[in-house]
Amino acid sequence: MLEVQSVTFDCADPYGLAEWWSRALGWPLVDSEPGDDEVLLDPPPDGRHQPPLLFIKVPEGKRVKNRLHLDVVPTGGRTRDEEVERLLELGAKPYEDHRKPDGSGWMILLDPEGNEFCVCRGAAEREAAGTS
């Protein structure tokens, strides 16, 4: 058996990208400062098992679509569309819109270094729509 220790992002500016994700997720940076080659974000101790995010400096830039990406969902009663707007205000870029008229679907955004991630409907929205 294995356990996921962390989800790692290769990036040009670990501190800058980790700082952006910290604002997006509300997770704290762990003992880091600008210029660090490795920066860790720890998930909150809320009882849910979520692996930390690790950002590591690499010399090459992103060239192709991610083979692995994060799917994120809103919490605290917020909707997917409210979170999409908040993330765009933080500096995410829209990439592909897969939202459907019935409210299902997801939005693909790019973080500041161009990594794709999906914003999906949260549990409250799915429950209100009678879907899982």
Distance, in Å, from the CA atom of 51 to the CA atom of 30, rounded to the nearest integer, reads: 14
Q: Which domain holds residue 38?
A: 1-59
Q: How many residues does the chain have?
A: 132
* Domain closes at, from 59, 80, 97: 59
Q: Cβ(107)–Cβ(44) under 8 Å?
A: no
Number of domains in the chain: 2
User: What percentage of residues in the chain have a pLDDT greater than 70?
Assistant: 98
Give residue-wise pLDDT tens across range 64-115: 888 899 999 999 889 999 999 999 999 999 999 999 998 899 999 999 999 9
Q: Are 106 and 99 in contact (CB under 8 A)?
A: yes
Whether 42 and 89 share a structural domain: no
Q: Answer whether residue 48 shows pLDDT above 90.
A: no
Which of 10, 42, 59 is the endpoint of a domain?
A: 59
Are residue 68 and residue 130 in the same domain, yes or no?
Answer: yes
Q: Which residue has the higher pLDDT, 32 or 66?
A: 32
Whose CA is closest to 35, among 9, 14, 8, 61? Answer: 14
- The residue from 41, 59, 77 where one domain ends is 59
Do 71 and 117 share a domain, yes or no? yes
Output 122 or 130, whichever has higher pLDDT: 122
Q: What is the pTM of this model?
A: 0.90
b/e sequence 42-66, b meaning 16+ C-beta within 10 Å: eeeeeeeeeeebbbebeeeebeeee
CATH of the domain at 112: 3.30.720.110
